[in-house]
Amino acid sequence: MVKNVEFEDSAKGKFFLWRAVRGVLPTRMRLQDKGVPCTDCCPFCETNYENDWHVFMGCEEVKTVWRTAGLCDLIAEIVADAASFANCFFSLLCRLTTNKCKDMTMILWCIWRRRNDKVWDGDLKLVSIAIQLAREALFQWQIARQNTAEPHQTQQQQTIQWQPPAQGVLKCNVDAAIFNELKSLCTCICIRDHRGQIIKAATNWYEGNPLPQEAEAVGLRDAILWLGELGLSDVHIELDCKIVVDSICDKNNNQAEFGNIIANCMSLLQQFTNFKISFVRRQANVVTHNLARVSILHARHRVFDLIPSCITNLAMNEII
Ligand SMILES: [Zn+2]
């Protein structure tokens, strides 16, 4: 029984999620697209194509899982409006509470695991048992994490958070997100004052599948340009991509496309001598990071007149 509970390894869970959201899980349609000689039919209903959407949201069998898990009503509206599985997932992350997000993620993993058991072992677990196993695994993983967390580590984690700039200086946090399924890149910029209040935020969308450091460098370039347009001069720019910050500071990199964007940033920075650029840990870049996730709902260039409430709540929490 315990052997079935495999989610105690969080890396496995994260890897599953990463593959699901980036659209690289080996569904039958994807395998067939890649030339693998197999059927593209759903192993449950055997009438629809098995793509990401059908696996996790569309199939009647899967709807039974969501219903049995008691999450069906909670997710129904978002599922109905979603343009893709990734879009649906990120919308749910924004709208659900932290605990419901964990439960939702666990149910996704449960659905994929149950599907694999059927495809590879011909084993079809009862929905209620599959859910029970998944939730038990989440519970045990949370207990294990609590037990292994060293007190000094917890304290260290608490101290890594966004820090307001000095009065008279603005802080501009930058982040980027790549949505492979949409072949798109989003850069997000968030400008805050010494009280921690968001005074401006914007997102930019581009087509393409850049490397992560390229996406972050594009974000930095967008930020410098935008700050310049706004006429702001004393600004501390923070990114959670060390390669970009190091490249700006070292003035030395050999990667072709990445190097071009960095060179671009450096030439722009010559006009803004009061801009300071530094690396910040992901935990201190939460607001902008989440804005990147929310931006998938808009998927276009946007300056926010009204900051999304989930972002203002995060910003408020950082300054309480
Ligand atoms: Zn189906």
pLDDT, tens digit (0-9, with 9 covering 90-100), for 236-280: 999 988 888 888 877 665 667 788 888 889 889 988 888 999 888
Give the residue, 302 or 310, on which the prediction is more confident. Answer: 302
pLDDT band at 152; cut points 50, 70, 90? very low
Instruction: Tell me what the mean pLDDT of segment 293-301 comes to.
Output: 65
Assign 312 a pLDDT band (cuts: 50, 70, 90). confident
Distance 64 CA to ligand 1 centre (A): 11
- Please list the alpha-helical segments (H only) found in the chain: 10-21, 28-33, 52-53, 60-68, 72-81, 85-95, 98-121, 127-148, 151-159, 212-229, 242-250, 256-269, 286-294, 309-319
Q: What radius of gyration do the chain's Cα atoms show? A: 22
Confidence at residue 60, expressed as pLDDT on a 0 to 100 scale: 95
The pLDDT of residue 9 is above 60: no
- Which CATH code is given to the segment(s) 170-319? 3.30.420.10
CA atoms of 4 and 137, how far apart (whole Å): 9
**Extents of the domains making up the chain:** 2-148, 170-319
Q: Using CA atoms, how far apart are residues 194 and 191, in angstroms rounded to an integer?
A: 10
CA of 286 to the centre of ligand 1 (A): 37
Q: Distance, CA 53 to ligand 1 centroid (Å)?
A: 10
Span 225-242, mean pLDDT? 92
Distance in Å, CA 299 to ligand 1 centroid: 29
Q: Sign of dihedral through CA atoms 83, 88, 92, 94?
A: negative
The alpha carbon of 171 and the centre of ligand 1 are apart by a number of angstroms equal to: 49
How confident is residue 207, by pLDDT bands cut at 50, 70 and 90? confident
Biggest distance spanned by C-alpha atoms of the chain: 65
- Provide the percentage of residues in the chain whose pLDDT is more than 90: 28
Cα(51) to ligand 1 centroid in Å equals: 9
Residues bordering ligand 1, an ion, CB closer than 5 Å:
42, 44-45, 48, 59
What is the 61 CA–ligand 1 centroid distance (Å)? 6
C-alpha torsion angle, residues 61, 67, 73, 76 (rounded to 10): -10
The per-residue pLDDT for range 170-199, each reduced to its tens digit, is: 999 999 888 776 778 889 999 999 988 888
Residue 310 confidence (pLDDT): 63
Residue for token digits 């959407």? 53
Distance of CA 43 to the CA centre of its chain: 29
**Of all residues in the chain, what percent carry a pLDDT higher than 70?**
82
For 21, 31, 272, the CA distances from 24, given in Å and listed in that order, are 8, 10, 41
Q: How far is the CA of 126 from the centre of ligand 1 (A)?
A: 16
What is residue 209's predicted lDDT score, i.e. its pLDDT? 82
Check: CB of residue 239 under 8 Å from CB of residue 292.
no
Position 153 scores a pLDDT of 46
Rounded to the nearest angstrom, the distance between the alpha carbon of 45 and the centre of ligand 1 is 4
Distance 58 CA to ligand 1 centre (A): 7
Q: Hunting for tokens 């038990």 — which residue is that?
A: 136
217 C-alpha vs ligand 1 centroid, how far in Å? 41
Q: Ligand 1 center to residue 98 CA distance, Å?
A: 29
Say how many Å lie between the CA of residue 102 and the centre of ligand 1: 25
Eight-state DSSP code of residue 125: -
Half-sphere exposure for 307 (CA within 13 Å, toward CB) = 23
Q: Residue 192 and residue 113: Cα distance in Å, rounded?
A: 43
- What's phi and psi for 175, nearest 5 deg? -150, 165
Å from CA of 50 to ligand 1 middle: 7
